[in-house]
Structure 1
């Protein structure tokens, strides 16, 4: 049977495609190009036979900010090229958001295909620039905006159903719990596939997180009572963790 979608491609073939894309970018943008780089699994040398291609195309400063992506499938492979003005990419790299541990790794170690003026070292410096207070603010936002909301949804589902919603909530507890741990330690994850196992290697994990993460990784999400018990324990652990590290879940009744 023939295989639709991505097919097996060697790392050498994939890198040759990256160079082909870079050559086309030079044809399209010419002297506007400041730097071209590859990120993701290709830049780390961990790409598998079916991995896609992810690239930066950085444009020199102009009167208008540029930020868009080309994303396409050529049949046997898929590619995404993020075309950005230099100042846009530097600002993004210096900004901390809730998914920072997953999204910001590319700013630290892109594989350069073209960088005559040393942009990528400046990009790494920008990614290293946020202060501890920036991480604290985002942790507080995730604790309230995601985790507090998830525990409410979990309690509603446990009382009124549907229990089929509980596995999804367990995955959200594990995902955002891992983001909190990464933010607290100011560590990013190598890839989405490794978020949970790598989070279990980081210090200062809230009590109860490990159990939820292992439930999700094992796929053992069929028993509602097990999910509810694990997530409630994790929520209790999060509240204690927040107090220990001076993060804020609860504020005054109306804070404005």
Structure 2
């Protein structure tokens, strides 16, 4: 049967493509290249037959040039590739920063498969990624609680009153996804891949009450009963408030904090 889009490619073929891309990067950027690596499932050795290719090209910056941060992303028919081209100082700064999706976004900084690294940049990248303090994680948790989850609660209650209830399954997914980010941030643990966020979060300690129910509901796909979604998400929010108080994470501030 003819299949459009991705086709099965062996790991050996995929690695060969990575080396071909690296060779082309050397042709384009020459002596400016600090390091080239592969990240994602390919670097971890968990790539499947239809996995895409994700690579990083690190560049130096001279006094006459500006910092660079962009991506090449393309389809070659049977496979897809993305190459992030980034100045070394930008990458180090990003690696040392904690934001709300840190448990999912920062894995690549720890798991580069090096194709070219004559000056030992990737160990420096790991060192930068290990540098955030507990305070950095606390701030990220606050941002998720206030900037994401609290807004979802408001939307949940609006939909409960006025509809459309077709929006509820999407909200349940958001509650589960960002709840998992909170669990990962609290434990300072990374998720291995996007597909494993919920099951891996369920294995971590110190989960807020109500999270497990929402996560399992989403994983099962049983999102057809609006009343169950509303009840599960409201219970999770109550659990989050108690969890935040227990761990001294601030949700509420004075009426106007500035």
Q: TM-score range by the shorter chain?
A: over 0.9
Q: Distance in 2 between matches of 1:249 and 1:81?
A: 38
How do residues 168-183 of structure 1 correspond to structure 2 at under 5 angstroms?
168-183=170-185
Q: What RMSD over aligned residues (CA atoms) do the two structures have, in Å? A: 0.6
Q: Distance in 2 between matches of 1:238 and 1:169?
A: 16
Using the TM superposition, give the Cα deviation of residue 130 of structure 1 relative to its aligned residue in structure 2, in angstroms. Answer: 0.5
Using the TM superposition, give the Cα deviation of residue 101 of structure 1 relative to its aligned residue in structure 2, in angstroms. Answer: 0.4
Using the TM superposition, give the Cα deviation of residue 158 of structure 1 relative to its aligned residue in structure 2, in angstroms. Answer: 0.8
Q: Which residue of 1 is the match for residue 217 of structure 2? A: 215
How do residues 15-26 of structure 1 correspond to structure 2 at under 5 angstroms?
15-26=15-26
Using the TM superposition, give the Cα deviation of residue 224 of structure 1 relative to its aligned residue in structure 2, in angstroms. Answer: 0.4
Using the TM superposition, give the Cα deviation of residue 159 of structure 1 relative to its aligned residue in structure 2, in angstroms. Answer: 1.1
Q: Which residue of 1 is the match for residue 103 of structure 2? A: 101
How do residues 96-245 of structure 1 correspond to structure 2 at under 5 angstroms?
96-245=98-247
Q: Which residue of 2 is the match for residue 29 of structure 1? A: 29
Q: Distance in 2 between matches of 1:138 and 1:62?
A: 33
Q: Which residue of 2 is the match for residue 70 of structure 1? A: 72
Q: Distance in 1 between matches of 2:200 and 2:112?
A: 21
Q: How many residues align?
A: 256
Q: Distance in 1 between matches of 2:62 and 2:242?
A: 49
The yes-or-no answer on 1:49 pairing with 2:49 is yes
Using the TM superposition, give the Cα deviation of residue 61 of structure 1 relative to its aligned residue in structure 2, in angstroms. Answer: 2.6
Runs of 4+ in 1 over 4 A off after TM superposition: none
Q: Distance in 2 between matches of 1:26 and 1:186?
A: 36
Structure 1 residues without counterparts, runs of 5 or longer: none
Q: Distance in 1 between matches of 2:198 and 2:111?
A: 21
Q: Distance in 2 between matches of 1:136 and 1:16?
A: 42
Using the TM superposition, give the Cα deviation of residue 138 of structure 1 relative to its aligned residue in structure 2, in angstroms. Answer: 1.0
Using the TM superposition, give the Cα deviation of residue 28 of structure 1 relative to its aligned residue in structure 2, in angstroms. Answer: 0.8
